[in-house]
Amino acid sequence: MNIDDLIKQVEQKQNDLVELRERWNRRAAGFPALPDEKQENSFAFLQEFMSLQDIQMLDVGCGSGRYLLLALEAGVKKVVGVEIADKMLQKAEQTLTASSWKPANYELVRSSWEEIDLAERAWVRQFDLVMALKTPALNSVTNVKKMLAASRHAFFFSNHLQRREPLFQELYAKVHGYEKAFGNEHAHLLTELLQAWGYKPATHIFEISEVRDEPIADLLIRYGDWIFKDFPTAAEKDWLRQELLEVSADGETVRHTAATTEALTFVDVRGIDPASL
């Protein structure tokens, strides 16, 4: 596949920034911390290629701030998180202050990545590491080039390749008549594009299976976003609540399983000027 075709494939899903902000603000209240295994796998892989001691790191789409916290705990000198959703950013602030980190160690920026001006913020080649983990910002080649331009050493990103959540698939089928497939070749496409540009990305693929006890209130938000085209109407929300109550043992939580295949990719950006791409 040539570069033009790869770019088209990478950008086949366009972001609606207003919808993204609304969705992640809705999900913020019940947004769970990532399972420890995922966190450890991500940082263990990253540290195979570079030391995190005393570096400066940028996290694009930092969400609730869990990876910012892990980075500081791993020795990063300062972290900067960019997040589109106000309520997610509030959770990130709470995450960091609850662990006694001071403003000198972190900066939180409420913005979409699309709205960030690197020159205006003096962010060109400013960060030793730019990280983008499962963020919609990766859907744009312009965004990716901006991530490369912000880094003076490394770019680290991740994406789901496949996700299987039987409870969700069953509920989705009741509404739409078929099961929704969770497959995403985006990580592979980005890796191919980076290779075509002259970089040498290293990728690690791993699987995680887990049993969750998830609050019904959180599932109403998450599944509501996934099952219905827009956030569910009152009637749709009532239907979903009743379906979840039927499989709940205590009327408050639902035990269900989830299995994911994920790709982690590390890219040493030194030696290539993103402006030339």
pLDDT tens profile 142-160: 999 999 999 999 999 998 8
Residue 270, SS3 per DSSP: coil
Residues in the chain: 277
C-beta neighbour count of 48 within 10 angstroms: 9
Distances (CA, A) of 236 to 100, 216, 229, 259: 42, 15, 11, 26
Task: Give the whole-angstrom CA distance, residue 87 versus residue 83.
Answer: 9
127-to-73, 159, 252 alpha-carbon distances in Å: 18, 22, 43
Q: Which residues, in sequence order, are CB contacts of 246 under 8 Å at separation 6+?
A: none
Q: What is the pLDDT of residue 7?
A: 82
Query: Does the pTM of the predicted model rise above 0.95?
Result: no
Domains of the chain, first to last: 3-265 (3.40.50.150)
Residues in CB range of 197: below 8 A, 6 or more apart: 3, 272, 277
pLDDT at 19: 80
Distance CA 196, CA 188 (A): 12
Distance CA 20, CA 136 (A): 9
Element (H, E) at 222: helix 216-227
Q: Which residue is it, tokens 């995403």?
A: 184
Residue 93, token pair as written in the block: 């602030």
Residues in contact with 229: Cβ distance below 8 Å, sequence separation at least 6, in sequence order? none
Point out the residues of the chain with pLDDT beneath 70. Answer: 30-40
Q: What does the DSSP 8-state code read for residue 137?
A: G
User: What pLDDT does 180 receive?
Assistant: 85
SS3 (DSSP) at 5: helix
Radius of gyration of the CA atoms of the chain, in A: 19
DSSP structural state of residue 181: P
**SS3 label, residue 93:** helix
- Rounded Cα gap, residues 7 and 83, in angstroms: 24
- CA angle centred on 205, ends 203 and 206, rounded to 5°: 150
203 φ/ψ angles, rounded to the nearest 5 degrees: -120, 140
Determine the pLDDT at residue 22. 83
Cβ atoms of 189 and 10 within 8 Å: the answer is yes
Contact 156, 272 (CB under 8 A): no
Token reading at 206: 């791993």
- Asked if residues 20 and 241 have their Cβ atoms less than 8 Å apart, the reply is no
